[in-house]
Copies of this chain bind each other. A is one copy, B any other.
Amino acid sequence: MAELRADAQRNRGELLGAARQVIAEEGVDASLRDIARRAGVGIGTLYRHFPTREALLAAIIDDGVRRLAATAEGLAAAKPADEALDAWLTKVAGTIGPYRGLAASMLEAVTDEEAGDPALRLACEGMMDSGRDLLAAAQASGDIRPDVTWPDVFTAIAAISGIASQPGKQDRDAAARVLAVYLDGLRATHAARPVQAM
């Protein structure tokens, strides 16, 4: 990756910038042609750099998820396990939320071994490890229900953070309120209720 030709490197940067803009506005299903246009390159160039829409998404979030993984350790050291988990999950939701549909794409990448895009799954790996660790610590400390798994919790966070980029902005932090209720449900302070089939 380091030995890209100078023009190629510039194009890559231009594409990434344009993609961040367009996807923030239009969501993950935004037109790739649009992105290429705004980056000032041909559509073929976009495909050469990012063979897959998910590869482009992976590149977009790469920095963010790396930061999340880094944050996890600091939080674990500074706070009680359950509060660290809370704060971190809130950060995750905040990072993913603004890009409409991104949470669903990440969920698919991480969850679906065959259909999920490998590049996006790879990008999420560090973040997934951090989440698993934080959850395990909070469960070990007895603050969080022992019967939830990290995949389930991440699934929940992904679904809930999607609320933030939903159209209908009359209530911008509905996602935060829903998340608060879910995090409450995660506490071990009360008896777990049985799961009802849907």
Interface residues of A (CB under 8 A from B): 86-87, 90-91, 93-94, 97, 104, 107-108, 111-113, 115-116, 145, 148, 151-152, 155-156, 159-164, 166-171, 173-187, 189-190, 192-198
Contact = CB atoms under 8 A, between A and B. Distances in A.
B180 A184 contact: no
Tell me if A's interface is mostly helix, strand, loop or mixed.
helix
Contacts of A177: 148, 152, 195
B176 A108 contact: no
Contacts of A163: 155-156, 159
Most buried by B among A152, A164, A189: A152
26 contacts: A86-B193, A86-B196, A87-B196, A90-B197, A91-B198, A104-B162, A107-B168, A108-B167, A111-B170, A148-B177, A152-B181, A155-B178, A156-B160, A156-B178, A159-B159, A159-B163, A159-B178, A164-B198, A176-B195, A180-B196, A181-B185, A184-B184, A184-B185, A184-B193, A189-B190, A190-B190
